[in-house]
Amino acid sequence: MNIMGQPWKMGTLKIKNRLVRSATGEGLSNEDGTPTQRLIDISVELARGGVGLIIAGTAYISREGRGDKNTTGIDNNRLIEPLSRLCRAVHTAGGTLAVQLLHCGSTLNPAILPEKEVLFGPSAMIDPVCGHPVVELSKDHILRIVDDYANAALRAKEAGFRAVQLHAAHGYLINQFLSPSRNRRNDQYGGPLKHRALLLYQVYEAVRGAVGKEFPIFIKMSAYDGFPGGVKPKEAAQVASTLDVMGIDAIEVSAGTPEGAKKGGWDHIIPAPFKEGSLLKYALQIKEKVNCPVISVEGWRNPLEITKALEKIDAVSMSRPFIREPNLVNRWLGGDLSPARCISCNECLDLIMESGLGCVFHNRNKDGNS
């Protein structure tokens, strides 16, 4: 059997193959955070397409932490039942569904600004991306956010998700605390790395306390922020190593922030055009420091390259290729090893804001042929 089709384990969770759908904000939930039937249908299509582990797009842990319109909510017990319908549908179709928990901090879609009374972050400043004032979080407020993560994780477990992923990448709140340029605090949450990482460690501990030892908790983290004064790969590896000792079940290694993209002159933090497995090097640096499984995300398109990478890394995750070809895993595991048809044009990033997740090519032709 091709190594892509081999099962692996994330903590107690057995995953049937090593191809993961990385979290992909679908923009397909209602304003109140409940998933629409279209979101359920898209998720079921991925499950039928053979994806080993599907990580649903971000779910906000509190209304204050909501970063975009039509994002899924997990901030209230009334959402458990609607979310359980999503979980049941995916699991009945043979998939395994995890959810990604998020407080966006001050990194958000500007379209949502009118609903925000205040933007919060580690330190008071003008947000370098959206240009709005950011208010420094008080210690009490930080502890409330830690509780919000724990309560959201418990809801995820009750709804039937098989794992929770903490979103600590891409310039959102936890990532902002890690970044020296965003976190200028003088208390126990600022200064040396172990202080800047304290929020993340507290969130992990609180979530673990809520869901118990057996329930898988994993993390998506940035190996680097991509701007001067941001997190560097060595620091990211140190944080990963501490989380590993604390008991995290897997680490997905991404990179970049909207601030880094803006300063680099790019439209999006996700590169277009891409390089095959562009962040593998960083995932391997982290893999050296930890015992838990490591997942490499970004730029995986060629199954022959993925097959080689899987000799060194536990799993690879993809986002854009699955938007165009939900059946990609079945295609590859069925022996058609031509590369993913995704051309990384990033049109999908604009579509989620306009009409919800889609691919301009997939929408034209369901076979994915343009």
Ligand X SMILES: Cc1cc2nc3c(=O)[nH]c(=O)nc-3n(C[C@H](O)[C@H](O)[C@H](O)COP(=O)(O)O)c2cc1C
The CB-of-299 to ligand X minimum distance in angstroms stands at 5
- Tell me the number of residues near ligand X by CB under 6 A: 25
Contact between 18 and ligand X by CB under 6 A: the answer reads no
Cβ neighbours of 241 (radius 10 Å): 16
**Is the distance from CB of 25 to CB of 58 less than 8 angstroms?**
yes
Question: Of 18, 167, 208, 331, which lies in the binding site for ligand X, with binding defined by CB under 6 A?
Answer: 167
The CB-of-358 to ligand X minimum distance in angstroms stands at 9
Question: Of 348, 358, 361, 368, which lies in the binding site for ligand X, with binding defined by CB under 6 A?
Answer: 348
Binding pattern for the stretch 124-163 against ligand X, x by CB under 6 A and - elsewhere? ----------------------------------------
Give the pairing type, strands 315-318 and 19-24: parallel
Nearest one of 318, 297, 298, 356 to 26, comparing CA atoms: 356
The CB-of-237 to ligand X minimum distance in angstroms stands at 19
- In terms of Cβ atoms closer than 10 Å to its own Cβ (0-12, 13-18, 19+), residue 52 is buried
Question: Of 240, 292, 318, 328, which lies in the binding site for ligand X, with binding defined by CB under 6 A?
Answer: 318
The CB-of-133 to ligand X minimum distance in angstroms stands at 25
**Is the distance from CB of 39 to CB of 26 less than 8 angstroms?**
yes
The CB-of-309 to ligand X minimum distance in angstroms stands at 13
Q: In terms of CB distance, is 135 or 353 closer to ligand X?
A: 353
Residue 63 DSSP code: G
Ranges of H-type helices in the chain: 37-48, 80-92, 139-159, 173-178, 193-196, 198-211, 233-246, 258-264, 280-287, 303-309, 320-324, 328-333, 347-354, 360-364
Question: 19 to 38, contacts with ligand X by CB under 6 A?
Answer: 22-25
**Is the distance from CB of 177 to CB of 141 less than 8 angstroms?**
no
The CB-of-21 to ligand X minimum distance in angstroms stands at 8
Contact between 100 and ligand X by CB under 6 A: the answer reads yes
Distance of CA 326 to the CA centre of its chain: 18
- In terms of Cβ atoms closer than 10 Å to its own Cβ (0-12, 13-18, 19+), residue 43 is buried
Binding pattern for the stretch 243-272 against ligand X, x by CB under 6 A and - elsewhere? -----------x---------------x--
Q: Near ligand X by CB under 6 A, which window of 18-26, 104-112, 149-157, 193-201?
A: 18-26
* Residues, the chain: 370
Summarize as ranges the residues that interact with ligand X (CB under 6 A): 22-25, 57-58, 100, 167, 169-170, 220, 254, 270, 274, 297-300, 318-321, 348-349, 352
